[in-house]
Amino acid sequence: MKLVSRPSERDTRLRAMVDRYLDFVARVLRNAGTPEAELDDDVQRTFIAVSNRLDDVRPDAEKSFLLQTALRMAAHARRTLARRREVHDSDAQLRIQGPLQPEQMLDQKRARELLDNVLEEMAIELRTVFVLYELEELSMTEIAATLRIPQGTVASRLRRARADFRDRVRALSGSTHAEVGS
Amino acid sequence: MTEPTRLLTLPESELERALLTAGRSYTAPGSMRANTLLALGLTAAATSTAPSASVASRSLTKAAFSKVAITMLVIGAAALPIWLYLRHAGRSPVALTPPANTARVSPAPSGTVEPVMDPPGSVPPATQGPSVESQPSSPAPSVGIPRAEPRPASTPPLAAELAALDAARTSLSHSDPSAALVALDGYSRNFPRGRLRLEAEVLRIGALAKSGQTVAARKRAEAFLRIHPDSVLASRVRSYAGL
């Protein structure tokens, strides 16, 4: 009698995906707008969604599939958040009212909060392209394939997103110099 | 198409560098991997607070199961003469074959039903009367031989439970929810107090949902979440039931 069922190939594959892409999925969700408090759930939902479609996912397309799923999860999270805006009143305390002190700039936790604020203010189509290019370091070709939009559109959105991001960061730091280079 | 240099390569301020670095360096908290594996039914380390987590571990090696099997064989061999003697003496070896659930059934508080201990072939929780305690904390009353083993010595219970649920999970992943439900019925029948019953219930909710029995799936999901709102399986239940 078989005492222990061997872990199936499916389970092995899923486990390997979690090991390989967990940080990636969590980071994309976080940067794309999933609140910290819901991150754990959304990471699980992302992997469950992929698990349910595992047979349809080519091994070389796992990352892309996870990315697309995570972006959809984050979009859902943002919509949910928008519906209960009043909950975010407390977050207003985190927003910066004036130029930052150097020690504030260098604090990692603070930097994360500030980044959240900056990203949250950006238009979603600009934010997504910005996150994928500047934070995930995807190529413009990869972004175009992931979002299913023309490369020209990616380039245009990226240009606007970088300008928007720098404007907002300058506003935070009080800096006024330099244009966005390319 | 030439790609622009990434901002972090040439940040125009320390603040910009700090923000971009914070965005790139985000890593998943330590518990997230375990929670994700558990949600996928893959699970990992045992924990004392989550019955399913504590037993759904696939990290047990074959060697560990072999030790369990040998131990149970020894216990079984020792218990057999005693059981035969008691049987011959006309005493009922109650502890060897306890009636399912009888010691643990209690009236349902405010109509709620524990979703993980349903009898085989049961209907959705809302239609049932009694409920059963969710945490197997108190030992079942035993008469006669107190240390008798309730299961056949040749079948390590955990391995058998895992195998039963693997069958259900495999059916579910192959878009065969009917077969998954049959497997889960078998699990409930064979392991009325199974230690993986929470996991089994989650799979049942998934199977019901996938088979189109969305109302039943939703009822069970709501009952599950009422009783285990903070379970690591909760998000999976919500996902299955569309809550």
Q: Say which of B4, B23, B235 has its CB closest to residue A45.
A: B235
Q: State the smallest CA–CA distance between residue B128 and chain A in angstroms.
A: 30
Phi-psi domain of A56 (left: phi exceeds 0; alpha: psi -120 through 50; beta: other):
alpha
Residue to substitute from A11, A120, A131, interface B, most B β-carbons within 10 A:
A11
Judged by a CB distance cut-off of 8 A, whether residue B63 touches chain A is no
Distance CA B22, CA B8 (A): 11
Spatial contact of B28 and A43, defined as CB atoms under 8 Å apart: yes
Predicted local confidence at residue B138, as pLDDT: 35
Q: Do B23 and A135 touch (CB under 8 A)?
A: yes
Query: Which residues on chain B are in Cβ contact (under 8 Å) with A178?
Result: 12
Q: Scan residues 108-167 of A and list those with Cβ closer than 8 Å to B.
A: 108, 111-112, 114-115, 118-119, 131, 133-135, 137, 139-141, 151, 155, 158-159, 162, 165-166
Q: Say which of A18, A133, A162 has its CB closest to residue B36.
A: A18
- Distance from the Cα of residue A95 to its chain's centroid: 20
Q: Which residues of chain A have pLDDT under 50?
A: 1-6, 86-97, 175-182
Query: What ipTM, to 2 d.p.?
Result: 0.80
DSSP code per residue over A147-179: HT--HHHHHHHHHHHHHHHHHHHHHHHT----P
Q: Scan residues 77-106 of A and list those with Cβ closer than 8 Å to B.
A: 100, 102, 105-106
Predicted local confidence at residue B71, as pLDDT: 58
DSSP A46: H
User: pLDDT tens string for chain B (243 positions)?
Assistant: 688 999 999 898 888 998 999 999 888 877 898 888 888 887 654 333 333 333 333 333 344 444 555 556 666 666 666 666 656 554 443 333 333 333 333 333 333 333 333 333 333 333 333 333 333 333 333 333 334 344 444 455 677 777 788 888 878 877 888 888 988 988 888 888 777 788 888 889 988 988 888 888 898 988 888 888 777 788 888 888 877
The whole model's pTM is what?
A: 0.50
Predicted local confidence at residue A85, as pLDDT: 53
